[in-house]
């Protein structure tokens, strides 16, 4: 049952409330997004009109950021009401820190990071060979994606490599890049391959398959889809501390840098020791197959909701 609000960015919508009241009996599972007051309000309304129905909230968010994590009356009251009213049956948490937080609040929770699109399921697990290719996914020139740092790091490498940029570029970024690169020798200039925005998921997959390292220099991410996709296609992630990869690093399946010099050193090491990097990439792929497969997650969600 699709339910639409009256406009974009609408938090509390009369249309949604009316639709929930009217359709509640026909909705077996109400799927909401983000653990916010308005989501909890919708959950409560739905439960009033369908006590047997199930409410699932997919709690997208950043690592170590917890909703209502304070000692205010508001925060305490919300969790007390949730516990007593049982308005939320299951929370899907992208990060293990968030998973632990909700468990402490006595709310049923499942660790559920973003997955990959169906096109990835249909592809066999290729045998990747050692190489020095890097892939970067995101629009160059978007301040949040911070592609300029990736450019600076790759420009400093002693080892030869190529880096593929998928996602397009702004005109300001092109101006910046042309000015930045003009003083470098030709072999460095040839490292950078800008492919623009690619709509065809199969082409995106082919570029993941041609690279060994996935580079993400974002200033901030929740749990990026590209990270799951890259690992699924056997790329080893080298990511910023704000790219949502703490759980992956803790599992030994990614490396996090903290400044430009450290990034250069990590990339140099990963390119120079491509055999070791390939082993790590295979480990990252195994992690993704276990944690980012939503076919498995949907089965676990069903078990959490209906298995006694």
**CATH of residue 214:** 3.40.50.2000
What pLDDT does 7 receive? 59
Tell me if 212 sits within 8 A of 278, measured CB to CB. Answer: yes
Inside any domain, residue 9: no
Inside any domain, residue 3: no
What pLDDT does 4 receive? 65
In this structure, the answer to whether residues 62 and 27 fall within a common structural domain is yes
From the list 35, 90, 31, the residue with the least C-alpha distance to 60 is 35
What pLDDT does 184 receive? 97
From the list 266, 123, 153, 271, the residue with the least C-alpha distance to 211 is 271
What pLDDT does 16 receive? 87
* Angstrom distance (rounded) from CA 217 to CA 140: 11
**What parts of the chain have a pLDDT lower than 70?**
1-10, 70-75, 308
Inside any domain, residue 4: no
- Which DSSP string corresponds to 148-202? HHHHHHHHH-SS--EEEEES-B-HHHHHHHHHHHTTS-HHHHTTEEE------HH
Secondary structure string (H, E, C) spanning 204-230: HHHHHHHCCEEEECCCCCCCCHHHHHH
In this structure, the answer to whether residues 151 and 271 fall within a common structural domain is yes
* Angstrom distance (rounded) from CA 47 to CA 25: 10
What pLDDT does 212 receive? 98
What pLDDT does 2 receive? 64
What pLDDT does 256 receive? 97
In this structure, the answer to whether residues 300 and 273 fall within a common structural domain is no
Inside any domain, residue 8: no
How many Å is the maximal CA-CA distance in the chain? 69
Q: What is the pTM of this model?
A: 0.88
Query: What are the contacts of 5-12 at 24+ separation with CB within 8 A?
Result: 11/36, 11/38, 12/38, 12/41
What pLDDT does 53 receive? 95
In this structure, the answer to whether residues 111 and 123 fall within a common structural domain is no
In this structure, the answer to whether residues 219 and 74 fall within a common structural domain is no
Q: What is the total count of domains within the chain?
A: 2
In this structure, the answer to whether residues 163 and 276 fall within a common structural domain is yes
What pLDDT does 71 receive? 61
Inside any domain, residue 158: yes
Domain around 98:
14-115+293-306
Residue 241: exposed, middle, or buried by beta-carbon count in 10 A (0-12, 13-18, 19+)?
middle
- In the sheet that holds 54-59, the strands lie side by side as 29-33, 54-59, 90-93, 109-111
In this structure, the answer to whether residues 125 and 259 fall within a common structural domain is yes
In this structure, the answer to whether residues 144 and 18 fall within a common structural domain is no
In this structure, the answer to whether residues 208 and 246 fall within a common structural domain is yes
In this structure, the answer to whether residues 131 and 107 fall within a common structural domain is no
Query: From the CB of residue 193, how many other CB atoms can be counted at a distance below 10 Å?
Result: 15
Inside any domain, residue 188: yes
Residue 104: exposed, middle, or buried by beta-carbon count in 10 A (0-12, 13-18, 19+)?
exposed
């Amino acid at each position: 049952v699709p339910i639409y609000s009256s406009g974009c960015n609408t938090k509390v919508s009369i249309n949604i409330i009316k639709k929930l009241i009217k359709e509640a009996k026909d909705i077996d599972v109400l799927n909401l997004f983000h653990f916010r007051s308005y989501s909890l309000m919708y959950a409560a309304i739905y439960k009033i009109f369908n006590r047997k129905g199930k409410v699932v909230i997919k709690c997208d968010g950043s690592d170590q950021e917890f909703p209502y994590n304070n000692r205010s009356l508001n925060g305490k009251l919300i969790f007390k009401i949730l516990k007593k009213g049982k308005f939320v049956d299951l929370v899907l948490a992208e990060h293990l820190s968030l998973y632990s937080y909700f468990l402490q609040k006595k709310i049923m929770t499942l660790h559920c990071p973003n997955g990959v699109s169906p096109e990835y399921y249909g592809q066999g697990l290729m045998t990747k060979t050692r190489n020095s290719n890097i892939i970067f996914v995101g629009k160059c020139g978007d301040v949040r994606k911070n592609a300029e740092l990736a450019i600076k790091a790759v420009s400093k490498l002693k080892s030869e490599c190529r880096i593929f940029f998928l996602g397009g570029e702004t005109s300001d970024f092109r101006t910046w890049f042309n000015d930045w690169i003009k003083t470098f020798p030709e072999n460095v200039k040839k490292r950078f391959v800008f492919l623009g925005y690619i709509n065809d998921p199969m082409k995106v997959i082919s570029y993941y398959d041609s690279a060994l390292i996935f580079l993400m220099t974002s200033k901030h991410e929740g749990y990026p889809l590209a990270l799951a996709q890259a690992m699924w296609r056997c790329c080893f992630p080298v990511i910023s501390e704000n790219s949502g990869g703490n759980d992956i690093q803790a599992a030994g399946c990614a490396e996090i840098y903290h400044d430009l010099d450290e990034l250069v050193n990590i990339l140099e090491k990963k390119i120079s020791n491509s055999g070791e990097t390939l082993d790590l990439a295979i480990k990252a792929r195994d992690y993704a197959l276990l944690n980012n497969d939503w076919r498995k997650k949907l089965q676990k969600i069903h078990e959490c909701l209906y298995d006694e």
